[in-house]
Amino acid sequence: MSMYVGESLVGEGNEVAHIDLLIGDKSGPVGSAFANALADQKMGHSNLLAGTPNLAVKPSTVMITKVTIKGAKQAVQMFGPAQKAVANAVADCVKSGAIPKDQADNLCIVCGVFIHWDASDDKKIYEYNYEATKQAIERAMKNEPSIDDVLAQRDTADHPFYAG
């Protein structure tokens, strides 16, 4: 398959993590999206590689902001605990076999990350983004949820931001 799609929401409060991601071959549509994300930076939407300084994770992962970064505090949260969390989750998914190690150089990931403007607890930002990224990758690589699960749970699934 040329593209896997994953999603996960973990946590609560202003530190809640919501990850949307794509995984695919560097030569396919995800590779194009990856390159475009790095090449097309915009004010308030600084995309960055997941990792720690001088140690970018494999598969190569670009983090894209899902909300406008409005100040230095929020930027440091994205370029600190969220960046480290995403990188560690990707590396741990390779280590566990969720992402095949022999594909780590061929695949890339585009990872949408949400950091709330009022988030304040860096430890929770790390923990929630780590778990959400890990879950999103595992779901993507297993093609979960299945269409049968989507149809069966559609009318009973709760949305934390819509009481409807």
Tell me the catalytic residues: 18
Whole-angstrom distance, CA of residue 133 vs CA of residue 89: 6
Pairwise CA distance, residues 45 & 62, whole Å? 12
**Which residues lie closer than 8 Å to 160 by C-beta, 6 or more apart?**
9, 16
- Closest alpha carbon to 57 in 121, 133, 6, 2: 133
Token couple for 149 = 């699960």
C-alpha 143/C-alpha 26 separation (Å) is: 19
Sheet hosting strand 60-65, strand order edge to edge = 3-10, 17-25, 107-113, 60-65, 48-49
In what helix (H) or strand (E) does residue 20 lie, and over which residues does it extend? strand 17-25
